[in-house]
Structure 1
Amino acid sequence: MTLEILTSDMLAPVKHGFFSRRGGASSGVFAGLNCGYGSSDQTEIVALNRRRVADAMDVTPEALVGIHQVHSPDVLTVDAPLTGDKPKADALVTATPGLALTILTADCQPVLFCDPDANVIGAAHAGWRGALDGVLEATLDAMEALGATRENTRAVIGPSISQAAYEVGPEFLDAFMAESSENSRFFANGTDDRMQFDLPAFGLHKLRQAGVGQAEWTRHCTYSDPDRFYSYRRTTHAKEADYGRLISAIRL
């Protein structure tokens, strides 16, 4: 099966892709294109999957630049392939051609950024905690430091968990209300005291509030489409032992 690579006209002509799980070499619960070394999948199979992604992005596997994601607002500026242990951060930016910035997700938002005039790109991992704590705004700040402008920057949110699949408790709502009472609009009533949280809508709100020129969500839900996407929450509900990681990438 060939790779399935979702793209957005908004990011054109910059080369990018939100890769689905289709077209990979992994099997079992990881069946498909699992690109996460942090999973219990076979290391050599993950490496093979990542080589396929590198080929699709027209870079060497070493030029697939990733980080140790920890749900933080921290951003790493890179100008060369990384060696050794991956630094802890949740976003990357660069103005260096030939580097493919990558993010791994399995329900959280993968967000790809570009200012095509300034030749600056970014990639962010924005789960609820990172989005609330400012990782998207911090990515834009780091891109500006490389010469990008917010009004000319475009941002696209890739496959993420949708509101219909994202049930949360009252303490979750409290964390968002502590930031702003207006955040209540991203929650819908669920069963009993539960709420349904709209993560992509919150991400778009944060991007637009930060002054990004254009922003959109691809409208793919990771939870509700098991043939195409990995989902941490779906794996948890199914009581499976582990789950694969989707990869998203962008390069100059």
Structure 2
Amino acid sequence: MAEIDLGTRPVRKVFTTRKGGVSKEPYGSFNLGDHVGDEPAAVNANRLRLAKAVGLDPDRIVWMEQVHSNTVTVVDGPQQSPVEVTDALVTTEKGLALAVLVADCVPVLLSDTEAGVVAAVHAGRLGARNGIVAKTVETMVGLGATPANIHALLGPAASGKNYEVPAEMAADVERHLPGSTTTTAKGTTGVDIRVGLVRQLLSLGVRSIDADPRCTIEDKDLFSYRREGVTGRQAGLVWLQ
């Protein structure tokens, strides 16, 4: 797991890798996704390992269904099952971790520690194109956050040099998320969703932004749907302390 050091740590942000779990191939080994065909017992064991590693009660980690929507959901306590049909979670509840699962999409962890608001966002190409991150910031502001006080951490994701898409698709994303279109290492048309999201966050008044540069497609310590097809999911977690 990788973590950004925020000094006194009123908030914690964590990203996992594919190492350190019990899942068998093609989900080996720290798969946290319960929707990819892995054995439920293995996923549960991995989630328990994650909770123990970060010092949380497993019931204090909130998961979401994730359907590539632009739906944002505010939660105020533990959930018995993943929050349905949503791609962003927001809370003001201390000690309640919000989780996002990815295997090429961009995991975005947001926090305003002065206002006491955090969010976890699943920003795939479609969700990012349809404004999931902007809607999440708007929801945070509605709960007292100020864009200038928000810190954004973008996790490992498909990079522009490896994320090849048809030209028409790239143009469509660019119209909605300016700055996303790029040229891949092969010289073909691609998109870099992280670059587009950084530009969007800046336009919203968010100035404190960190982006993990790792590319899921090329880094074999990370799960990648585009590289492997059938594979697991790593997670990003954020919570107030």
State the TM-score bracket (shorter-chain normalisation). over 0.9
Question: Are 2:151 and 2:207, in contact at CA under 8 Å, matched by a contact in 1?
Answer: yes
| 1:188-237 superposed Cα distances (whole Å, 9 cap, x missing partner) | 26758x402222111211111111131121111111111x100000013x
Contact 1:102 1:123 in 2 (8 A): yes
Other structure's SS at 1:165 match:
coil
Instruction: List gaps (5 residues or longer) in structure 2.
Output: none
What TM-score do you get using the length of structure 1 for normalisation? 0.89
What's the CA shift string for 1:127-180, capped at 9, x where partnerless? 111111111111111111221111000001001011111011122123134437
Check conservation: 1:10, 1:156, Cα contact below 8 A: no
Change (3 A) 1:247 1:12: farther
The answer to whether the 8 Å contact 1:11/1:154 transfers is no
Q: 1:177 to 1:204 in 2, by over 3 A?
A: closer
Cα deviation code 1:50-94 (max 9, x no counterpart):
011111232221211011101111111000111246311100010
Alignment partner, residue 188 of structure 1: 183
1:51-200 equivalences in 2 (<5 Å): 51-84=48-81, 86-179=83-176, 183=179, 186-188=181-183, 194-200=188-194
- C-alpha separation in 1, matches of 2:219 and 2:186: 23
Alpha-carbon contact 2:63-2:82 (below 8 Å) kept:
no
1:235 aligns with 2:228: yes
Partners of 2:48 and 2:184 lie apart in 1 by 44
Q: Is the 8 A contact 1:167 1:190 kept in 2?
A: no
Residue matched to 2:4: 8
Shift of 1:41: 0.7
Distance in 2 of aligned mates of 1:161 and 1:213:
23
What is the TM-score with the length of structure 2 in the denominator? Answer: 0.93
Distance 2:161 2:171 in 1: 20
Q: Whole-Å Cα distance in 2 between the matches of residues 41 and 132 of structure 1?
A: 29
Q: How many residues align?
A: 239
More helix by share: 1
Q: Distance in 2 between matches of 1:244 and 1:76?
A: 24
Residue pair 2:110, 2:151 contacting (<8 A) in 1 also: yes
Aligned sequence identity (%): 34
Tell me the residue number matched to 2:201.
Answer: 207
Aligned letter for 1:230? Answer: F
Alpha carbon RMSD of aligned pairs, Å? Answer: 1.9
- Aligned-pair CA distance for 1:108: 0.3
Instruction: Provide the C-alpha distance between the structure 2 equivalents of 1:205 and 1:10, rounded to a whole number of angstroms.
Output: 23
